[in-house]
Structure 1
Amino acid sequence: MDNEKIKILIADDHPIFLKGLQEVIEDKPHLEVVCKADNGTEAIRLALIYDIDMAILDIDMPGANGLQVAEQILAKKPGVAIILLTMHKARDGFLKALEIGVSGYVLKENAVVDIINAIAAVNRYQSYISPEMSSFLLKHKNRNRNDVSFRLESLTPSEMNILEKVAQYKSTKEIAEELFISEKTVSNHRMNIAKKLDLSGKNSLLRFAIEHISA
């Protein structure tokens, strides 16, 4: 995707928002909206017809909601990156999105500012969460740490430090900059942590950190 335009599907049942979203995206020469839908059923149909790199979906749509659409797309086209748009700061919806394999989670109130950053992050195979959503989740973090199936004591101090920063919803790039190390080093730490904690699947490390690590 480096030398070609990133091909994007957008879906939202509010026509004015959909039009504005397209304008913001296509203001960047390397981004192209190849199809758009105003309901979840149409979004699924278009996603399977068109060659797309990314789908940006409103969570609340008629026909099928954004989570259902994401699940359907990823089942047939696992290489497509999914960014969800939501008006609601809800922890359960966010965790469900992570479980499905969604790469980006953007609050609609900040979409004009956040969406380009989200696209850039997920295009680098990183997760993106709107800063305001991160702040909300940190304030409402589940403090229950009674899960004894994982052995946090097996982690080195450096790995524990990385995991704590993951729990603060910091990206690989942000962690690298904060610790003055390379993104590759952070990625290696993340892989080692996941292996030690017997985690697998997309977003599994972030889900674990959210559930078990106090910020």
Structure 2
Amino acid sequence: MKKLNLIIADDHPIFLKGLWEGLEMEEDFTVIAQATNGQEAFMAVQTYRPDVVVLDIDMPRMNGLEAAEKMLEINPQLPIILLTMHKEKAPLLKALELGICGYVLKENAVTDIMHAIRIVAAGNPYISPEMSLFLLRKPQNTAKQKTQEVLELLTPAERQITQLVAQYKTSKEIADELFISEKTVFNHRMNIAKKLNLTGKNSLLRFALEHFA
């Protein structure tokens, strides 16, 4: 079994110790470095070659978003998971814009983090289910109403695909739910991105969360 080498960072010693102990109990995880602030985490990534990095979003000497941005400048493909206590849309969208793969609520970290690490290591995004439910419960605002013209560019099938993307479903899950092939889903996603001029990592997911969550 190939082990995943992890770097973890949090400025609360008790939480960091508990996270380390939990991860080390998993046979496929090895914590190769720990950090108590964003600067230390960034230096650790330069020193080691982690498979996944787990960062608290609120840290001194460079917060999680700032540290992640610098890490991704060095290695744009590095899977990074942010831990947060905040159920807010703006930091999540900023994280996706930067190319961060995972977003886990600290209140659910014990149950979510193991699964999240394996998901992002495989190249897929992961957002805590509770975060998804929170966003879906939020009422529509005027900003969403103003996007109607943009959404009208999409066919009913493309809108359906985008709605499922907003629920963090993978292309395979979408294909299974709609009884179509993964290739068809891929083609739809490409067409949606082209119509909406979406480019970059997580761009479709960001759009879906902004307009369908």
TM-score (norm 1): 0.88
Secondary structure of the corresponding residue to residue 157 of structure 2? helix
Q: Is the 1:142–1:211 contact (alpha carbons within 8 Å) kept by the matching residues of 2?
A: no
- Code of the residue aligned with 1:165 in structure 2: it is L
CA drift of 1:28 comes to 2.1
| Equivalent residues of 1:10, 1:37 under 8 A apart | yes
Contact 1:26/1:33, CA 8 A, preserved across alignment: yes
Matched with 1:155 is: 154
1:19-47 CA distance string (max 9 Å, x none): 22122222222221111101111011111
Q: For residue 189 of structure 2, what is the amino acid of its counterpart?
A: R
CA spacing shift, 1:187–1:32, aligned 2, 3 Å: farther
Q: How does 1:1-215 map to 2 (within 5 A)?
A: 4-140=2-138, 143=141, 144-147=144-147, 150=150, 152-181=151-180, 183=182, 185-213=184-212
Equivalences, count: 211
The alpha-carbon deviation at position 164 of structure 1 amounts to 1.1
Give the Cα–Cα distance (whole angstroms) in 2 for the partners of residues 210 and 74 of structure 1. Answer: 22
Measured in 1, the distance between the counterparts of 2:22 and 2:116 equals: 13
CA distance in 2 between counterparts of 1:68 and 1:115 reads 21
* TM-score, normalised relative to structure 2: 0.89
> Residues 189, 31 of structure 1: CA spacing in aligned structure 2 closer, same or farther, 3 A cutoff?
farther
**C-alpha separation in 2, matches of 1:185 and 1:160:** 14
Q: 1:105 to 1:206 in 2, by over 3 A?
A: same
How far did residue 178 of structure 1 move?
2.7
DSSP-derived class of the 2:33 partner: strand
Structure 2 residue matching 1:42: 3-state secondary structure: helix
Cα distance between partner residues in 1 of 2:155 and 2:8: 42
Given residue 171 of structure 2, which amino acid in structure 1 is its aligned partner?
A: T
Superposed displacement of residue 149, structure 1: 7.6
What percentage of aligned pairs have identical amino acids? 58
Q: What are the ranges of 5 or more consecutive residues in structure 1 without an aligned counterpart?
A: none
Label 1:180 to 1:32 Cα distance change in 2 as closer, same or farther (>3 A): farther
Deviation by residue 1:120-177 (Cα, 9 ceiling, x = unmatched)? 2112211111011111111226542424784x44434332211111123334354344
For 1:34 and 1:129, locate their aligned partners in 2 and report how far apart those are by CA, in whole Å: 24
Question: In the aligned structure 1, how far is the partner of 2:164 from the partner of 2:96?
Answer: 17
CA RMSD of aligned residues (A): 2.1
Cα distance change of structure 1 residues 210 and 6 upon mapping to structure 2, 3 Å threshold: same
Give the Cα–Cα distance (whole angstroms) in 2 for the partners of residues 30 and 188 of structure 1: 35
Structure 2: give runs of 5+ residues left out of the alignment: none
Deviation at residue 206 of structure 1 after TM alignment = 1.2
CA distance in 2, matches of 1:188, 1:7: 34
Q: Secondary structure at the match of 2:114?
A: helix
Contact 1:126 1:172 in 2 (8 A): no
Provide the rounded CA distance (Å) in 2 between the counterparts of 1:28 and 1:177: 30
